[in-house]
Structure 1
């Protein structure tokens, strides 16, 4: 890089500097605390005075009888969220793209994006009321149709699917807007050429729209794979109960109870480190696959 180009790009580097400092302090700085995963951590002795435990915390977690079931629950819920969170916004973006009345289109965009601004504490209260087996509007509708009422948040069979559905309801509005932005980057001449060739709207979607969206689809899918062991602590913690532990208990909630709830900080840190390593491997693999099979580089 020559001196002229450096002077030209200097303002851009200065603009990114505050964000870089923020990441270094709040993302990389706390990584020093990972040493707790290998200690019998004692608050009084501190991080550098606690006794060394080696891999004992990892062995302890692995030896617990519920560990494998919790991992299965976490992977199942997380994978279902990734799949549903990919399909729902793509379909919604394609449907909105076909609308010609801009006022209606903007109204729908705003409505589906609003839940993204609400915390899970607020949304959990709404879901508890809406899905109530006695007074909830969903069960009232089921009863009106002649079906039995369902205790969605207390039934181990239904609980994971409620978590997936409610997560999509909250989050898909953001990705929909991202995909709509990607659609604006597709050249109109491609559609004109497709029309000349006699392609129907469906053929145009398959051969022009989806390939044009593919880079963004690959990017968001790749980034989402880093959340393969993150099934959503805030959501599940606010909605689950002991009756759904068999299918709804995930790594984060499990660690909260056995680790932080009982003051076993070393155990909690060990599980957090385990999750981070698996996520790093998953997202690194996804980068390789994105480049090899989609010829797309993120970096």
Structure 2
């Protein structure tokens, strides 16, 4: 009888649902974590969300002295002017080409580098190599341009000196439109490849070593281990970063391109960002440059949504 009563009491206690904690009680309980979130939230609020209010300039004949409230509304006039601009097709083409080249050529190299470094067994050599590869990231694009100019200069550049030694003629690489995109992609790879590899090295470090041990016992060689363990372990990080890259496909890197760009290379190097700088900052055409920025944001958002959908259907990984 006592046993039956004890069982009934246990069933009753199990049936009692725990009291639901209110949102404020939950926040108060985990207040330390929410306090750490405040700086990040303030950053996004001040520098990301508040500036969105300035997007109304794209629909106004904005006057800096009248402000948002006093400027006249003109509807989609600036968008019509943007699309009818005779060089808009060139600006859009250059932006897309440079961004696509960065995805095709620059994006895979940090992944390959991380995989190669992961196979290095000498920790001393691995650390020295990583440090050397990280250092260019901390150089400004002004310094990188100076180094590139020294390498490609027709007068004293090493590359032209080598060409002359092989019987060729000197080439003004930085003045030739056909070489501009190659220089941009190559210099970007040299500067950022080591730094971008960090996240992939971290992803590889997070793979359970027991998986490699089990694969060895089953007779898998290094290549099979890479294909069946390393690649699947890297896939989530690869897909997320690729989607973010696709979302920023209209941003081809203003700082870098502005340093290398000159009137002789506008044909293949002038992009939406550099035109926005000239029109908005130098000429004060705030409305049309805001319209260009809004156009870029909308296209990037649409591409990000599409890429996220495709990724979830194919790999099961997504941003949301």
Residue number among 54, 73, 89 corresponding to 1:68 in the alignment: 89
Measure, in 2, the Cα distance between the counterparts of 1:6 and 1:32.
Answer: 30
Residue of structure 2 equivalent to 1:232: 253
How far apart in 2 are the matches of 1:266 and 1:107? 50
SS at match of 1:42: coil
1:2 aligns with 2:21: yes
C-alpha deviations, 1:16-47, integer Å up to 9, x for none? 01210121111111111111111111122222
Q: Report if aligned partners of 1:260, 1:268 keep a CA contact under 8 Å in 2.
A: no
Secondary structure of the 1:236 match is: helix
SS in 2 for 1:138: helix
The equivalent residue for 1:185 is 206
1:185-264 maps to which residues of 2 (within 5 A)? Answer: 185-264=206-285
Aligned residues: 299
Return the alpha-carbon distance in structure 1 between the equivalents of residues 53 and 26 of structure 2: 37
Match of 1:103 in 2: 124
Structure 1 residue 113 corresponds to structure 2 residue 128? no
Q: What's the CA shift for 1:5?
A: 5.1
Give ranges in structure 1 of 5+ residues lacking alignment: none
Q: Are residues 1:77 and 2:77 paired? A: no
Q: CA deviation at 1:294?
A: 1.1
Partner of 2:169: 148
1:124 has 2:160 as partner: no
Give the alignment's TM-score, normalised by structure 2.
0.88
Shifted more, 164-173 versus 140-149: the winner is: 140-149
Q: Give the Cα–Cα distance (whole angstroms) in 1 for the partners of residues 106 and 241 of structure 2.
A: 10
1:44 corresponds to 2:65: yes
8 Å contact from structure 1 (residues 182, 213) kept in 2? yes
In structure 2, the gaps of 5 or more residues are 1-19
Contact 1:159–1:244 (8 Å) recurs in 2: yes
Larger Rg: 2
- Separation in 2, partners of 1:146, 1:190: 55
Which secondary structure state, in structure 2, belongs to the residue aligned with residue 219 of structure 1?
A: helix
1:54 alignment partner, one of 75, 79, 84: 75
Instruction: Report the TM-score when normalising by structure 1.
Output: 0.94
Query: Are the structure 2 counterparts of residues 173 and 8 from structure 1 closer, same or farther at C-alpha, using a change threshold of 3 Å?
Result: farther
**Matching residue of 1:21:** 42
| Cα RMSD (Å) | 1.7
